[in-house]
């Protein structure tokens, strides 16, 4: 009996491993520019009439299958790596395609990969299964099913996108994520700013503060449940901590002056930030459990914009100790300070990549602003985008995309100013504007919500 | 012929007016900047008659100019006469710098003003400092003159 179970288990394992480890299947190389996005077909998730009606009542969408597929389609398209084909050209109906695709039909419209699936309403839950097919090889590459509460239907679309991205590129995706940012309104001289949060694709935008006080530079903790940011509450600029679910807020530390430029440590246990006093800004950490405060830098110049390496051993930061803003790296205890930026111009907002190999930054040179990356020793500087004004890059959790904000010039009539969120691939390709209901700045990308 | 000559004179005068006014506007914009420090009065308000409320800075700098020191000495004299007054020094930067660095820079500028007031006998108890970085420009323009007006430390009565 025991033996039988073992045998069964092994056979099962082999069966489930073979399709995913076959040679010659499609792979997408994401290290080069996306000049040839992979053509793929996202067949709408099929759904039975009874389930369709239940979801129509629950989420007020006529066909949840089509809605989820368009989320997947949109995610894959905006990644710049995939070219989802027009549904009008599909020959096979979604339900049949999910059982057994006629690969000749999909080949005919030049699809190299195919996504099919099925959605149903079972025991008051949303159940989705989907399959990824290699059209040329005529093989199933992946099959997954999950069950969740109906309200999570958008996230299902993002999770499918992440699974497909990971299977085809070999790297984790970044679609089931959120972006926190500062929503802006009103004239430049009296700008109203609120914390806002949205899904990575712009859906579910929500304001977290009312705009009564100035708020700046929100950043997620590693689990994306907490946010640290700067608020001018009662005209005292201080670093705050906000629990997104409960809405509770607290001041971080008891500093006799302005604290700013906060970020979490990679384990989420500390907040690193600047404290300004008597014209000198230094970098401090505060342990969130025991409230112990440590001074990390000690120099009579401005030290700010600290960001930890993902292993927590190093900190990159911005200092003008050489006379102008430059990027420095030190050990997390403040020792071994080394300047790493030596190119022409001034450098700010260094932020360590989640992969650990690169530091993204803002650079100002000859009146133009650039977003760029360099290796952690300062070598291999690469500028990704040039503009009138842009700054504050934040990494996607897989370290492949940067989100930042860009401001336009105010003309002589006082018009033309805007602040918008943009993203760009590490390759320098695929620059895109993120849609937000108002102007936006200071974006920060969350980690993957489902790991 | 005489009429013609008159007309010519009028035209000449009109022409002269145009050139002069053109010169005048040119002169105004250059005379409002020394280096890239704002020296004009457009945005300046007064704490009391003859006591300007703000000082201006060069790009990326927090060094007080001769004009700034003169302004601050007037403020110190006024503060000595009005010993119950407390003040907030609001430090600002222009829009051509990263947000976090500008917060630090605004703080450094306001402190440069604070230090100078203290050397003229104003107690630090009467002074608090607040940096706005680039968040509260007075001139929303995107040009060197607007930026120069925004690089400032403003003395505001707190009580």
Residues B56 and B67 in one domain: yes
**pLDDT exceeds cutoff 70 at A157:** yes
Axis-axis angle for helices B66-81, B99-119 (nearest 10): 60
B68 with B17, same domain: the answer is no
User: Between chains, do A318 and B98 touch, taking CB under 8 Å as contact?
Assistant: yes
* Chain A residues within 8 A of B143 when measuring between CB atoms: 412
- From residue A274, give the alpha-carbon distance in Å to each of A73, A257, B100: 42, 10, 9
Where residue A412 falls among pLDDT bands split at 50, 70, 90?
Answer: confident
Q: How confident is the model at residue A413 (pLDDT cuts 50, 70, 90)?
A: confident
What was the pLDDT predicted at A103? 96
Within this chain, do residues B100 and B40 fall inside the same structural domain, yes or no? yes
Name every residue whose Cβ is closer than 8 Å to that of residue A20 and which is 6 or more positions away in sequence. A141, A142, A167
pLDDT at residue B22, as a whole number: 43
What is the topology classification, in CATH, of domain A36-169? Answer: Rossmann fold (3.40.50)
Which neighbouring-strand residues pair with A120? A127
Mean pLDDT of the region B97-117: 98
B76 and B52, same structural domain? yes
| pLDDT at residue A301, as a whole number | 97
ipTM of the complex: 0.91
Are residues B18 and B71 both part of a single domain? no
Contacts of B100 in chain A (CB under 8 A): 217, 260-261, 274, 304-305, 318, 348-349
Is residue B76 within 8 A of residue B57, CB to CB? The reply is: no
Give B26-79 as a 3 state SS string.
Answer: HHHHHHCEECCEECCCCCCCEEECCEECEEECCCCCCCCCHHHHHHHHHHHHHH
Residue of A nearest to B96 (CA): A389
Look at residue A398 and give its three-state secondary structure.
Answer: coil
- Report chain A residues whose CB lies below 8 A from the CB of B108: 276, 279-281, 302
Is the predicted pLDDT of residue B2 greater than 50, yes or no?
no
Assess whether B25 and B47 both reside in one domain.
no
Helices (H) and strands (E) in chain B, counts: 4, 8
Whether A187 and chain B come into contact, CB under 8 Å, resolves to: yes
* Cβ A336 vs Cβ A381: under 8 Å: no
The CATH number given to A178-445 is 2.120.10.30
- Give the closest residue to B153 by CA, choosing from B98, B104, B100, B93: B93
**What are the b/e assignments for A73-112, b being 16+ CB within 10 Å?**
bbbbebbbbbbbbeeeebebebbebbeebebebbeeeebb
Residue A11: per-residue pLDDT = 35
DSSP state of A222: T
Cβ pair B108:A216 closer than 8 A: no
| Band of residue B3 on the pLDDT scale cut at 50, 70, 90 | very low
CB contact under 8 A, B101 and A409: no
**CB-based burial, B82-120: b 16+ in 10 Å, e otherwise:** eeeeebbbbbbbbbbbbbbbbbbbbbbbbbbbbebbeee
pLDDT confidence bin for A28, thresholds 50/70/90: confident
Decide the pairing of beta strands A113-122 and A46-47: parallel
Assess whether B21 and B68 both reside in one domain.
Answer: no
Edge-first strand listing for the sheet containing A280-287: A258-264, A270-277, A280-287, A293-295
Rounded to an integer, the average pLDDT of A266-271 is 98
Test A258 with B131 for CB contact under 8 angstroms: yes
Task: Quick: pLDDT tens for B5-50.
Answer: 554 554 444 444 444 444 444 444 557 999 999 999 999 999 999 9
Q: Which residues of chain A have a CB within 8 Å of the CB of B139?
A: 189
| Average pLDDT score, chain A | 92
Q: List, for residues A307-346, the tens digit of each pLDDT value.
A: 999 999 999 999 999 999 999 999 999 999 999 999 999 9
How far is the CA of B16 from the CAs of A129, A419, B20, B27, in angstroms?
83, 45, 6, 16
B100/A235 touch (CB, cutoff 8 Å), yes or no: no
Position with higher pLDDT, A376 vs A412: A376
Closest alpha carbon to A113 in A65, A160, A174: A160
Q: What is the DSSP string of A237-298?
A: -EEEEEETTT--EEE-S--SSEEEEEEE-TTSSEEEEEEEETTEEEEEEEETTT--EEE---
Domain of residue B101, CATH code: 3.30.1330.60
Per-residue pLDDT at A23 exceeds 60: no
Candidates B36, B89, B107, B154, partner chain A, best to mutate (most A CBs within 10 A): B107
> pLDDT at residue B156 above 80?
yes
Same domain, B111 and B84: yes
Closest Cβ–Cβ partner in A388, A391, A410 for B98: A391
The predicted structure's pLDDT at residue B125: 97
% of chain B residues with pLDDT over 70: 81
Out of A255-269, A334-348, A403-417, least confident range = A403-417
Give the number of other CB atoms < 10 A from CB of residue A136: 15
Return the biggest CA–CA distance within chain B. 79
Residue to mutate among A276, A341, A365, with most B CBs inside 10 A, is: A276
pLDDT in tens, A339-382: 999 999 999 999 999 999 999 999 999 999 999 999 999 999 99
In the DSSP assignment, the letter for residue A380 is S
pLDDT score at B141: 96
The one-character DSSP state at A201 is: T
Average pLDDT over residues A110-130: 95
At residue A414, the pLDDT reads 83
Neighbours of A218 (CB within 10 A): 25
Q: Are strands A178-185 and A46-47 parallel, antiparallel or unpaired?
A: unpaired
Please state the rounded mean pLDDT for residues A388-406.
98
Are B37 and B24 found together in one domain? no
The whole-chain average pLDDT of chain B stands at 87
pLDDT of A239 over the 60 cut: yes
Beta bridge mates, A359 = A352, A374
For B107, the closest of A189, A276, A442 (CB atoms) is A276
Q: Are A381 and A399 in contact (CB under 8 A)?
A: no
Distance between CA atoms of residues A405 and A438, nearest Å: 13
User: Which residue reads 């907040």 in tokens?
Assistant: A271
Residues spanned by the domain of B9 = 1-31
B67 and B107 in a single domain? The answer is yes
In total, how many domains does chain B have? 2
Closest CA to B130 of A280, A233, A235, A301: A235
Q: What is the 3-state secondary structure (H, E, C) of A124-191?
A: CEEEEEEEEEECCCCEEEEEEEEEECHHHHHHHHHHHHHHHHHHHHCCCCCCCCEEEEEEEECCHHHC
- A279 Rama sector, left if φ>0, alpha if ψ -120 to 50, beta otherwise: left
- DSSP line for A13-33: HHHHHHHHH-TT------SS-
C-alpha atoms less than 13 angstroms from C-alpha of A248 in its C-beta half-sphere = 3
Are B39 and B26 members of one domain?
no
Among residues A108, A177, A237, A212, the alpha carbon closest in space to that of A401 is found at A177
Q: What is the mean pLDDT of residues A19-48?
A: 75
Q: What's the confidence (pLDDT) of residue A34? A: 60
Q: Specify whether B91 is located in the same domain as B135.
A: yes
C-alpha distances in angstroms, A420 versus A83, A203, A434, A448, B136?
26, 16, 7, 23, 19
């Amino acid at each position: 009996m025991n033996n039988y179970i073992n045998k069964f288990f092994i056979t099962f394992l082999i069966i489930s491993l073979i399709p995913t480890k076959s040679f010659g299947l499609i792979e997408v190389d994401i290290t080069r520019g996306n000049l040839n996005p992979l053509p793929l077909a996202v067949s709408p998730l099929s759904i039975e009439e009874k389930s369709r009606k239940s979801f129509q009542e629950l989420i007020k969408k006529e066909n949840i299958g089509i809605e989820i597929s368009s989320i997947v389609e949109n995610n894959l398209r905006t990644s710049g790596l995939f070219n989802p084909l027009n549904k009008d050209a599909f020959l096979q109906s979604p339900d049949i395609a999910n059982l057994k695709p006629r690969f000749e039909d999909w080949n005919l419209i030049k699809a190299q990969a195919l996504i099919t699936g099925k959605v149903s309403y079972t025991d008051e839950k949303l159940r989705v299964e989907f399959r990824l097919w290699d059209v040329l090889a005529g093989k199933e590459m992946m099959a997954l099913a999950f069950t969740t509460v109906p309200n999570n239907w958008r996230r299902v679309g993002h999770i499918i996108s992440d699974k497909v991205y990971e299977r085809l590129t070999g790297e984790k995706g970044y679609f089931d994520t959120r972006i926190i940012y500062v929503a802006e309104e009103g004239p430049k001289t009296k700008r109203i700013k609120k914390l806002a949060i949205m899904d990575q694709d712009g859906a579910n935008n929500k304001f977290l503060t009312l705009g009564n006080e100035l708020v700046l530079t929100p950043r997620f903790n590693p689990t994306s449940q907490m946010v640290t940011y700067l608020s001018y509450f009662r005209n005292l600029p201080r670093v705050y901590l906000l629990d997104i679910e409960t809405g509770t807020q607290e001041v971080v530390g008891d500093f006799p002056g302005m604290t700013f430029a906060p970020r979490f440590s990679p384990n989420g246990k500390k907040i690193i930030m600047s404290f300004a006093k008597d014209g000198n800004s230094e970098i401090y950490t505060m342990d969130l459990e025991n409230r112990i405060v440590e001074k990390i830098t000690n120099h009579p110049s401005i030290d700010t914009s600290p960001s930890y390496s993902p292993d927590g051993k190093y900190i990159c930061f911005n200092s003008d100790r050489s006379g102008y803003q430059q990027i420095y790296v030190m050990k997390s205890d403040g020792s071994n300070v080394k300047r790493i930026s030596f190119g022409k111009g001034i450098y700010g907002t260094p932020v360590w990549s989640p992969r650990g190999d690169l530091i993204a930054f803002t650079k100002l040179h000859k009146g133009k602003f650039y977003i760029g990356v360099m290796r952690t020793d300062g070598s291999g500087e690469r500028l990704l985008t040039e503009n009138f004004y842009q700054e504050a890059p934040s990494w996607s959790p897989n370290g492949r995309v940067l989100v930042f904000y860009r401001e336009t010039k105010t003309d002589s009539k006082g018009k033309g100013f805007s602040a918008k969120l943009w993203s760009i691939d590490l390759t320098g390709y695929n620059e895109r504007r993120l849609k937000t209901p108002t102007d936006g700045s200071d974006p920060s990308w969350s980690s993957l919500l489902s790991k | 012929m005489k009429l013609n000559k008159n007309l010519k004179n009028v035209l000449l005068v009109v022409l002269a007016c145009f050139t002069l006014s053109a010169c005048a506007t040119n002169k105004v914009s250059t005379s409002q900047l020394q280096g890239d420090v704002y020296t004009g009065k457009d945005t300046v308000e007064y704490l009391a008659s003859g006591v300007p409320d703000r000082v201006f800075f060069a790009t990326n700098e927090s060094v007080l100019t001769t004009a700034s020191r003169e302004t601050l000495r007037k403020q110190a004299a006024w503060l000595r006469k009005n010993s119950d007054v407390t003040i907030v020094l609001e430090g600002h930067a222009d829009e051509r710098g990263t947000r976090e660095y500008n917060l630090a820079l605004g703080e450094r500028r306001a402190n440069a003003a604070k230090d100078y007031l203290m050397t003229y006998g104003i107690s630090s108890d009467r002074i608090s400092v607040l940096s706005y970085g680039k968040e509260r420009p007075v001139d929303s323009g995107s040009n060197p003159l607007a930026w120069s007006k925004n690089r400032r430390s403003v003395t505001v009565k707190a009580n």
